[in-house]
Amino acid sequence: MGEPKQLLPFANSTILETVVDNMLESKFNEVIVIIGHCAEQIQQLIADRPVKTVFNPDYHKGMLTSVQAGVRSLNLANVNESRNAFSLMLVDQPFITSTLIDKIIDAYTQVEKGIVLPSYNYRRGHPVIFNKKYVDEILSLSLNSDGVRTLYKTYSEDIHYVEVGTDAVLRDIDYKEDYDRAINENR
C-alpha cells in the first residue's frame, strides 16, 4: 500500500478505529491491540478507547509474532477453565461488524469445540476463537510454520464452522484497489 493501511481514512474514522470500535461494541470482554510499525501513532489514535495495547518488537518478522505477543499478554490463569477463550482478528478487515463477531462468540458458547470460526462459501474467515488449551501450541509455532493455520490441520476435529451469509469475514484490505473498492462501498 505504500503507507500504513490501518491509518487510512475509513467511514468516519480510520480502518484501525473501525475495527477496534466493532470489537468494543461486541461481546468481547477485553480488546488487546498488538502494535509494531507506527506504534506511537497507533497508540495515540486509540488512546481514548478502553483497549490494552501490547508492543511487538518482532513485528517485522511477520504476523505470527504479533499473534504470539497477543497470546502472551493474556491473563488466562484465573478464569473459567472450560470455556475460557481468546479471539484473533486482523486490523485490515473493517467490514466485520460487532453483530458478526457476536455470532461467532455465541456459537463458541453453544458448542463443545476448541476452535470456532466463520465460513463463507466453504472458506475460513475471521474472527477465529480459540480455547485457551491452544495457548502453548500457538506459542510454540515457528516462524517457518503455516502460523495458526497449522492448528486447523492438526485439530480439524475440534473446529466448528459458523456459516455466515457475507464475505466480510474473508475480505481484507491489502492493495490500493481493495481500499478504493472498500471506500466506494462504504459511501
**For the segment 36-70, what is each residue's pLDDT rounded down to a tens digit?**
999 999 999 999 999 999 999 999 999 999 999 99
Q: Is the dihedral of CA 153, 168, 165, 28 positive or negative?
A: positive
Residues 87 and 28 sit within 8 Å (Cβ to Cβ) = yes
Question: What pLDDT is stored for residue 81 in this prediction?
Answer: 52
Question: What pLDDT is stored for residue 74 in this prediction?
Answer: 86
**For the segment 97-142, what is each residue's pLDDT rounded down to a tens digit?**
999 999 999 999 999 999 999 999 999 999 999 999 999 999 999 9
Give residue 82's pLDDT band: very low, low, confident or very high (50, 70, 90): very low
H or E segment and range at residue 14: strand 13-14
Distance CA 48, CA 68 (A): 25
**For the segment 163-175, what is each residue's pLDDT rounded down to a tens digit?**
999 999 999 998 8
3-state secondary structure of 54: strand
Question: What pLDDT is stored for residue 77 in this prediction?
Answer: 54
> Look-up: residue for cell 480510520?
14
